[in-house]
Homo-oligomer: A and B are copies of this chain.
Amino acid sequence: MKQEYNVAIIGVTGSAGMSTLRILEERNFPIKSLVPIASDRSVGRIVSFKDRNLPIQAFSSVDFSKIDFAFLCAGSKFSSQYGEAIAKAGCVVIDKSPYFRLFPNVPLVVPEINGNLLRNGNKSGIISSPNCITIPLSMTLAALRQVSPLRRVVVSTYQSVSGAGRKAIDGLYNQTKSVISNMGNSDDIFPKPIAFNVLPLVGHILDNGQTDEEEKIIQESKKILQEDLEIAVQCVRVPVFIGHSMSVLCDLDLLPNDMNIIREAFEVIEGILVVDNQEEETIVTPLDIQGDDSVYVNRIRVNPQWDNSLQYWVVADNLRKGAALNSVQIAELLLEIDPTLSKFSVNCK
């Protein structure tokens, strides 16, 4: 008989939590019981999962020694306060928040790139899923590294509002509606209006002038790729609902003359799709890929201005591969490696 698991989603009412629920459903994750958890004001509300109607539970009412997997989608503060306690109860924690990502004993995993890290188990009981830009970016860099060592990477992002949660989606909608109806810009979801605007700030500015978002992408990419990569990032919020894009310039030690080698290298990485017909000027935009699982690579070209330099455009659904899908894929990988989960749980049950 196929093994089934007890799964909790913490922060189920947020956009990452809701996407996790839907993706577990779509992918037929082997679930015995699903425990939706959210803050007190949502407790008792019903969440549907397959043919079941499940009441949202309070975090404090759940015994995590009886849960196999907890997907943490409740933000850094929650993870910092409760992540380790949940893991110590014997529940495998898959954390979407930034909190544990750079902890040396916590694996930071994009299954297609460094899933092998997990083959030997994980003593911390916690596995982190990276930032929504880090995931697609590091997939493309892992692809290129098959062809040549990487030298330098320069990234500018075009990040959708859903990266800032469900309120931000409503915010963009309401602001746009106000502008269209001549009522001026409303709301203050972001530091400046987002409707018909772009904001060169995602997160907060640190002492070194970078934002925490930019630092995350830099440090997480280095950890995932396990190299001291030279990478510079400018993060920008754009008035798009779903889908993060980025412009990437990557200097390699040696760039092959044949672009087909590059295209094939991208596609060797599971989850990357190259869509790049230059003659037909095929472009890939966030609107095209909303709801898709793939990371799309487009506008691949040699930078004609200096040697061994490649430019390309990347788009991915930040709520799927950029967030919930990656977390669920981590869980699937754990089951593939060890269906008993004893390699990954702090206290074997």
Contact = CB atoms under 8 A, between A and B. Distances in A.
B200 A305 contact: no
Nearest to A173: B180
A223 interface: no
A311 B154 CA distance: 10
A196 to B, nearest CB: 6
Given A173-B180, A193-B285, A200-B299, 16 more contacts: A154-B154, A158-B198, A176-B180, A193-B287, A196-B240, A197-B285, A198-B245, A198-B285, A199-B285, A200-B298, A201-B283, A231-B305, A232-B303, A234-B249, A236-B245, A239-B240
Contacts of A238: 158, 198, 238-239
A238 B157 CA distance: 12
A158 B232 contact: no
Contact of A285 (B180, B192, B205): B192
Nearest to A306: B230
A104 interface: no
13 contacts: A156-B156, A176-B180, A196-B240, A200-B247, A200-B313, A201-B283, A209-B278, A209-B299, A218-B305, A230-B305, A232-B303, A234-B313, A236-B245
A26 interface: no
A286 interface: yes
Interface in A159-175: 172-173
A50 interface: no
Contacts of A298: 200
B234 A311 contact: yes
A205 B283 CA distance: 10
Size range of the interface on A? 35 or more
A309 interface: yes
Contact of A199 (B173, B198, B283, B301): B283
Contacts of A154: 154, 249
Nearest to A312: B234
A294 interface: no
Contacts of A185: 287
Interface string A212-243: 00000010000000000011101010111100
A312 to B, nearest CB: 9
Contacts of A193: 285, 287
B287 A196 contact: yes
A156 B209 contact: no
Highest count of chain B CB atoms <10 Å: which of A152, A154, A192, A218: A154
Contacts of A284: 200
Interface string A274-299: 00001001011111100000000011
Given A180-B173, A205-B278, A197 B306 contact: no
Nearest to A228: B305
A251 B309 CA distance: 15
Contacts of A144: none
